Amino acid sequence: MKVYKALIGFCVAGTLTSPLPAQAGDTTMKLSLADAISMARQNNSSIKASRSRIDQAEARVVQTRQSSLPKVTLSETLMVTNDPGAALVFKLQQSSIQAIDFMPDKLNNPNVINDFNTSLQVMQPVYNADAAIGRTIAHTAKKAEEHMAVRTEETIGFQVSKVYYGLILARKNIEAVEQSIKTMQGHSNEAAKAFSVGLMTKSDKLSTEVRLAELQEQKLMLYDAIKDATDALRVLLHLGSGVTIVPTGDLVVDGVVPGTDNNTVPENRADLKALETGRQIAGYQADMARASRLPRVNAFLQTNLHSDNIFSGGSSWALGMNVQWNIFDGLASAGRMQEAKAQEHEAMYNYEAARSNSIAEVDKSIRSMRTAKARIAVAQKSIEESKVSLDYIGAQYKTGMAMTFELLMREQAHTYAKMRLNQAKYDYCVAKSELAYYRGNEMDLKN
């Protein structure tokens, strides 16, 4: 019973799943791991979202061009008034002033006047130090998004590889259960014959049927788990619900396991580069806050056309330079510099934490690979020994020289050994993918 409970726990907890047999109308897609990762990079929604964030960053870079490009505004304003001062000014601007307009009665009681003002204004930045730094920040932020998009692809690739190996594991576990069912069906038939001639008790005969029922239950549980994992893989690959995925790869174990001294994490790993870029951005923000204290110089050109009838009348222009110096802003710029400095420290600490955590994860992956490889050797030996024991007891059982419980124990042990081997191979492959992921080497995920 303890062996059976362990077997059930192993099946449920250790098994990631693969698809059910294809139904009518379903499409069967055979995929290698490299094909699955490549498809995910093209179709996965999270990866597409990360690329959209790059497009957003590029749009913000375009927006910063206003720090050097002119701003052109065209406007049309209509005003109707009998205000004495405005009426005189409008007539001057419209080039329609006459001597009679300076008569006191006319000045004090002017007629209602219409003024159409067509204005074209050009503002040209000349010197804006903080805006120039803002453009540098936008370019750097875009690089950070590019690094994060690369890391997103690596993360999705790792998730795909883990689920893909889980599909292989589940299919192998089902094969082991089906082999056990076939074996137990043979023994159950022998038990039925022995019972019919009075050579076996009803209790022993029923015990073989109970074991068959247990195996059938395990098979049903595995098929349910297979469908769940297939759905997860379809989501990662952005495939329709009518696609049945059949993995063509296997749980391959290498001959070489990296040493524990080979636990380095490359500086150019995408997420670490993104964190380093974030530190640079915080430094630029401090520079931008300091630059906001400097004067801002802008040139402007404005032309106006005034008339009592649109697009006619008098025209004028003005050209000038504006210098604005924010001498004291209530310590706002000092607060921004302080905030940017704190953000720079935060980015540095986040980088150090991510790097330290990655080194620990690399060590863990290497240990898992070593342990899994040792478990594989143990499981292979267990399979050989349990097979010999099961064959011997099976032969004895057919001649009535072995008890039913002995046969059931040997069969459970043999099935469990095969599933232990499958699990150890799966753990090795996943640990290898983890090692590649934490080292930032996506290509190793496909091997």
8 Å CB contact between 440 and 266: yes
Closest to 214 measured CA to CA, from 172, 169, 258, 180: 180
From the options 2.60.40.420, 1.20.120.350, 1.20.1600.10, 1.10.10.10, give the CATH code of 2-51+140-290+361-446: 1.20.1600.10
Burial class (CB in 10 A: 0-12, 13-18, 19+), 264: exposed
> Helix, strand, or coil here: 445?
helix
d(CA 114, CA 77): 11
pLDDT computed for residue 446 by the predictor = 57
pLDDT computed for residue 442 by the predictor = 53
Q: Give me the tens of pLDDT residue by residue for the chain, a chain 447 residues long.
A: 333 333 333 333 343 333 344 444 478 899 999 999 999 999 999 999 999 999 999 999 999 999 999 999 999 999 999 999 898 898 888 888 888 888 888 888 888 999 999 999 999 999 999 999 999 999 999 999 999 999 999 999 999 999 999 999 998 999 888 888 887 787 677 777 767 766 666 777 777 788 888 888 988 888 887 888 888 899 999 999 889 889 999 999 987 887 766 667 778 899 999 999 999 999 999 999 999 999 999 999 999 999 988 777 788 999 999 999 988 888 888 998 999 999 999 999 999 999 899 889 999 999 999 999 999 999 999 999 888 888 887 777 777 676 777 778 888 888 889 999 999 999 999 999 999 999 887 545 555
Whole-Å CA distances, 230 to 164, 189, 209, 223: 9, 36, 32, 10
For residues 129-158, one letter each, b for 16 or more C-beta atoms within 10 angstroms of the residue's C-beta and e for the rest, the string is bbbebbbebbebbbbbbbbbbbbbbbbbbb
8 Å CB contact between 172 and 426: no
Question: Would the CATH topology of 2-51+140-290+361-446 be identical to that of 68-129+292-324?
Answer: no
Domain positions in the chain are: 2-51+140-290+361-446, 68-129+292-324
8 Å CB contact between 135 and 64: yes
d(CA 427, CA 4): 22
Q: How many CB atoms lie within 10 A of CB 170?
A: 27
pLDDT computed for residue 127 by the predictor = 94
d(CA 288, CA 277): 16
Reported as half-sphere exposure (CB side, CA atoms, 13 A), residue 357 has a value of: 9
pTM to 2 decimal places: 0.81
- DSSP code of 95? T
d(CA 122, CA 276): 40
Closest to 77 measured CA to CA, from 319, 317, 305: 305
Please state the separation of Cα 421 from the chain's center in Å: 32
User: What's 68-129+292-324's CATH class?
Assistant: mainly beta
